[in-house]
Amino acid sequence: MSKSYQVAILGATGAVGRELLELLENRNFPVNKLKLLASERSVGQKLQFRGESLPVEAVSDRAFDSVDLVLASAGGTTSKTWAPKAVAAGAVVIDNSSAFRMNPEVPLVVPEVNPQAAATHKGIIANPNCTTILMVVAIYPLHKIIPIQRIIAATYQSASGAGAKAMEEVKTQTRAILAGEDPVAEVFPYPLAFNLFPHNSPLNDLGYCEEEMKMVNETRKILGNQKIRITATCVRVPVLRAHSEAINLEFENPLSPEEAKEILSQAPGVKLVEDWRANYFPMPIEATGKDEVLVGRIRQDISHPRSLELWLCGDQIRKGAALNAIQIAELLVEKNLLKHSAALV
């Protein structure tokens, strides 16, 4: 990484934006100049980067002039407005929203799984949903050995998936309940402290919420297989920033738990966490702040000879969002792909 680049973070003051800033510095990404972009209400804030205090600027038509890379984490509506303008200005956009994920012209990339897809970009690369990223990192090493035919997922999703304000709301609700007061819900539709509820994204006609369908559709796209049968139940739980998932995998042929553990113990981006005698397995409190997806409690499904059960935890803000985006950026630099010849229309 001898060359350096002009980088912009769109949505710099949000939880993921701040994590992107930290990772750019900690991973020594080759930044020549960094722009921090956000809405008008964030203008005037200053954030630290490599010992400097950088001002937050309002995103505008001229904000992307001379920018090589945009790391966008400001929501779908904002991305739909500004990502094409950034591409037209010559930048490559790695977008963390759902705006472009299912666009057939936009690659959906998890570097441990389908890095080759990044080479097909036309200016925009989509970062998958957090639950999808964590799951495919864990299951792809097994899928490579024996193809997976069906996935049944149940997620236990932290407040961080709804942003920094949601995390603060859970803390405030917790203090209120412990003080004998009624918790107030503003970010979420219901109190999350000492509670849980099915994910509150919009429901389709089949009764599946948007979050569940993201896992279905995005996993198929990333794995390049539209025939894999997938179902999911997504639940919001009172955890601050690490998601957990219970996954049932049906394989084409039997795969023993011992074989699966050996494969995952060597898999990139995965850390095997198991102590059966102590009943010790991945926990969100231990996944928080970690780059790896923690995987454990791998066992034979007693109801199906070709199925395994596993449990995983991963930091939603980190690998579920910011880290995956930075890894994509590192891949683009390594493969000299931080350029495009055809803007996405």
Q: Any known ligand binding at 169?
A: no
Tokens at 272, concatenated? 């095997």
Closest CA to 222 of 65, 328, 84: 328
**What gap in Å lies between CA 45 and CA 232, rounded to an integer?**
40
Beta strands (DSSP E) in 169-272 are 197-198, 229-236, 242-251, 270-272
243 labelled catalytic: yes
Q: Any known ligand binding at 60?
A: no
Q: Any known ligand binding at 241?
A: no
Q: Any known ligand binding at 116?
A: no
Q: Any known ligand binding at 52?
A: no
Q: Any known ligand binding at 163?
A: no
121, 130, 199, 313: the active-site residue: 130
Contact partners, residue 245, CB within 8 Å, separation at least 6: 131, 134, 135, 153, 154, 155, 156, 311, 312, 313
Q: Any known ligand binding at 320?
A: no
340 labelled catalytic: no
**3-state DSSP assignment of residue 321:** helix
Q: Any known ligand binding at 22?
A: no
Q: Any known ligand binding at 157?
A: yes
121, 143, 243, 313: the active-site residue: 243
**3-state DSSP assignment of residue 242:** strand
Q: Any known ligand binding at 316?
A: yes
Q: Any known ligand binding at 293?
A: no
**What gap in Å lies between CA 17 and CA 27, rounded to an integer?**
15
Sign of the alpha-carbon dihedral angle for 162, 166, 171, 175: negative
Q: Any known ligand binding at 254?
A: no
**What gap in Å lies between CA 21 and CA 13, rounded to an integer?**
10
Cα-based distances in Å from 338 to 23, 64, 310, 345: 18, 15, 37, 18
Specify binding-site residues: 13-16, 41-42, 101, 157, 160-161, 183, 210, 236, 316
Specify binding-site residues for NADP(+): 13-16, 41-42, 160-161, 183, 316
Residue positions annotated with a catalytic role: 130, 243
Specify binding-site residues for substrate: 157, 210, 236
Specify binding-site residues for phosphate: 101
